């Protein structure tokens, strides 16, 4: 998985450390997976 993430970062002209930094910021704002709570699906009520 790590190699895939590194390659995707390269495709976006970003470094792996850029990806890690953004992940840290998002984790600080939205939380992480430590509590094992995650979104499974979204139901659109149109």
Reported as a single tens digit per residue, the pLDDT across 1-46 is 999 999 999 999 999 999 999 999 988 887 777 777 778 899 998 7
User: End-to-end alpha-carbon separation of the chain, Å?
Assistant: 36
Q: What domain range is 46 assigned to? A: 1-46
Q: Which of 41, 18, 28, 39 is nearest to 8 (CA)?
A: 18
- Number of domains within the chain: 1
Model pLDDT, residue 24: 92
Which pTM value belongs to this model?
Answer: 0.62
């Amino acid at each position: 998985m790590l190699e895939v993430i590194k390659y995707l970062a390269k495709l976006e002209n970003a470094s792996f450390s850029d990806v890690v930094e953004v992940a840290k910021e998002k984790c600080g704002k939205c939380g992480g997976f430590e509590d094992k709570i995650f979104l499974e699906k979204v139901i659109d009520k149109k």
